[in-house]
Structure 1
Amino acid sequence: MNLSDHIALAALAAGKEILKVYENEFTVAYKTDQSPLTLADSKSHDIITQYLEQTPYPVLSEEGRDIPFEERSTWPYYWLVDPLDGTKEFVTRTGEFTVNIALIHQGKPVLGAVYTPVKKWLYIGSEGEGAWKLELQDHQLPENWKEAGQRLPLKLDQERSYTVVGSRSHKSKETDAFIAKLEKKHGQLNFVSMGSSLKICLVVEGTADIYPRLAPTMEWDTAAGDAVARSAGYQVVQYENGDPLLYNKENLLNPWFIVQR
């Protein structure tokens, strides 16, 4: 089995387990930074780890992040995982949360899967091969998923208004100022609020034109979506200098970034 199939199956299995928690009553704990944590986070982490331990590469997950830089800096390849991206969306039941799995090589995401269990959308991107979106009827991966899926970017209506996608739960005054400049340039804007790494994917598929993230994120928040973007010929670039995001830094905090067509 190739790695694209493997991480897709891992993401789908994790998504099914997440929904078992989501569809019932659950309790919410809080980390030291006050971000929410649920049983779904840990269950998803366990399932994905079981899949990825079958590969030759080590795993760095949001739910297992305490690996010293001295150790992980020696990794040429490793998996970077967010078992449940958008826990706030999970808690408020918007359905806009994702499972994110990415393979990083020398600071660059080269393979990624983003799965949203409620919507059953699966995005997969592989360097040198391309990127796809699958709209699944259930949580099963079709055998011929590249033929069953839609190649990204999609061929959509380009006559629509200039569309900005932004965070539902992480706004900033800097983002508001950036959007105001876009409005002066493009006129009336269409603004789409969305949670989790789906924002990156909406730009890549062509539903939105730009996603400005002028607020904090961590490397595991963006890696899988970034892999899909790069595989489709897009870039997730640093706001300050236009360079691509880098991964496996000593400090895992991302700089501000822009995703655009």
Structure 2
Amino acid sequence: MDLTNRIALAAIEAGKEILHVYENEFSVAYKSDQSPLTLADQKAHDVISYYLKQTPYPILSEEGRDVPFEKRANWPCYWLVDPLDGTKEFVKRNGEFTVNIALIKEGIPVLGVVYAPVKQWLYIGESGEGAWKLELKEHQFPDNWKEAGERLPSKAEEDRKYTVVGSRTHASEETKEFIAKLQEAHGDIAFVSMGSSLKLCLVAEGVADIYPRMAPTMEWDTAAGDAIVSSAGYRVVQYENDAPLQYNKENLLNPWFVVKR
């Protein structure tokens, strides 16, 4: 099984485990940073770890993040995983949460999948190959997925307003100021609210033109989406200097960034 098929299946199986929890009553705990944690996070982590431990590469996951920098600094290639991105969306039951798996090579996301289990949307990005979106049925991953999926970007952009995608839960004042400047430049603009890493995927898909993020995120929040965006021919850059996001930093907190076409 090649790596792309492996992580696609891992994300889908993790998504099915998440839905088992989502569709029933569940309790919510809180981490030291007050971010929510559910049984679904841990179940998804366990499934993904099972698939990825059969590859040569180590794993850095949000739910298993206690890997000392001194150890991971020497990893030339590793998996970066968020088993359940958008736990707040999960708790709200709005369906806008994802499973994120990325392969990082020398600090660059070169392969990524994002799966939204409620919507059954699967996004795949392979560096040098391209990006795709699949709308699955019954969580089944087709063998001929490149033919079955839409090559990204897939949405026509001529007949719509300049479109900004943003967070449902993290609209900072700085983000609002950034959007105001976009309105000055583009006139009447459209705004799409979306949770989790789906925001990056909407830019890759061509549904949105830009996603500004002037609020905290971690490396595992962005890596898979970053791989998909770049494989679609677009960019995820730091707000301050237009440089690419860096991965496997000592501090895993991302700087502010912009995803743009």
TM-score bracket for the superposition, by shorter chain length? over 0.9
* CA-CA distance at 1:67 after TM superposition: 0.4
| Distance in 1 of aligned mates of 2:88 and 2:196 | 9
Matched, 1:43 2:40: no
Residue aligning to 2:161: 161
1:6 aligns to what?
A: 6
- Distance in 2 (CA, whole Å) between partners of 1:10 and 1:158 is 36
**Pair 1:105 & 2:105 matched:** yes
Once superposed, which parts of structure 1, at least 4 consecutive aligned residues long, lie more than 2 Å away? none
CA contact (8 A) 2:21 2:40 kept: yes
SS in 1 for 2:170: coil
How far apart are residue 156 of structure 1 and its match? 1.8
The answer on 1:17 being equivalent to 2:10 is no
Q: What residue in structure 1 maps to residue 76 of structure 2? A: 76
Separation (CA, whole Å) in 2 of partners of 1:41 and 1:86: 10
Unaligned regions of 5+ residues in structure 2, if any? none
Q: Distance in 2 between matches of 1:138 and 1:111?
A: 24
**3-state SS of paired residue (1:109):** strand
Output the amino acid matched with 1:175.
T
Question: 1:209 maps to what in 2?
Answer: 209
State the Cα deviation string for residues 152-200 of structure 1 (Å, max 9, x = none). Answer: 1114242201110000011100000000000111111111110000000
1:22-41 deviation per Cα after TM superposition (whole angstroms, max 9, x unaligned)? 00000000001111000000
Partners of 1:77 and 1:37 lie apart in 2 by 28
Instruction: Kindly provide the CA deviation profile for residues 135-159 of structure 1, in whole angstroms up to 9, marking residues without a partner as x.
Output: 0112111010000000011142422
Equivalent residues in 2 for 1:1-261, closer than 5 Å: 1-261=1-261
CA distance in 2, matches of 1:218, 1:48: 19
CA gap 1:207/1:84 in 2 versus in 1, 3 angstroms: same
| Contact 2:166–2:192 (CA under 8 A) maintained in structure 1 | yes
CA RMSD of aligned residues (A): 0.6
- The separation in 1 between residues aligned to 2:158 and 2:121, in whole angstroms, is 22
In the alignment, the residues of structure 2 paired with residue 156 and residue 51 of structure 1 have an alpha-carbon distance, to the nearest angstrom, of: 36
SS in 1 for 2:161: coil
Task: Output the CA distance in 2 between the equivalents of 1:168 and 1:155.
Answer: 23
Paired with 1:228 and 1:157, the residues of 2 have a C-alpha distance of: 19
| Count of residue pairs brought into register by the alignment | 261
Contact (CA 8 Å) 2:36, 2:87: kept in 1 or not?
Answer: yes
Q: TM-score, normalized by length of structure 1?
A: 0.99
Q: Would the aligned equivalents of 2:155 and 2:207 in 1 still touch at CA under 8 Å? A: no
Aligned-partner Cα distance in 1 for 2:103–2:125: 10
Q: Which moved more, 1:149-158 or 1:62-71?
A: 149-158
Q: Whole-Å Cα distance in 1 between the matches of residues 235 and 157 of structure 2?
A: 22
Q: State how far apart, in whole Å, the 2-side matches of 1:259 and 1:68 are.
A: 29
Partners in 2 of 1:206 and 1:193 — Cα distance?
A: 15
Deviations 1:118-139 (A, max 9, x none): 0000000011111100001121
Q: Distance in 1 between matches of 2:7 and 2:140?
A: 13
Distance 1:158 1:23 in 2: 39
Query: What are structure 1's unaligned runs of at least 5 residues?
Result: none
Q: Secondary structure at the match of 1:226?
A: helix
* Aligned equivalents of 1:163, 1:250: Cα separation in 2: 34
